[in-house]
Amino acid sequence: MTTRDKADPKSDRKERLAAELRANLARRKAQARSRRAGEPDERAEGIPSGKQEKHK
């Protein structure tokens, strides 16, 4: 029997969920950075980049 077989299933689940959560957070951070650094969309209905100044 390996140590993996003896491990508590709840702790395995917690470790797996924690790893998935970290991966999801990393993806979301990368997505937010790309949106801030990206160029504005050329289409009229597109989303402007964060670099443009807002008009008053």
* Dist. CA 29–CA 11, nearest whole Å: 27
Using alpha carbons, list the distances in angstroms from residue 39 to 3, 10, 32, 45, 49. Answer: 51, 45, 13, 14, 6
- At residue 49, the pLDDT reads 63
| Rounded average pLDDT over 27-40 | 80
Q: With bands split at pLDDT 50, 70 and 90, how would you rate the model's confidence at 1?
A: very low
Q: With bands split at pLDDT 50, 70 and 90, how would you rate the model's confidence at 55?
A: low
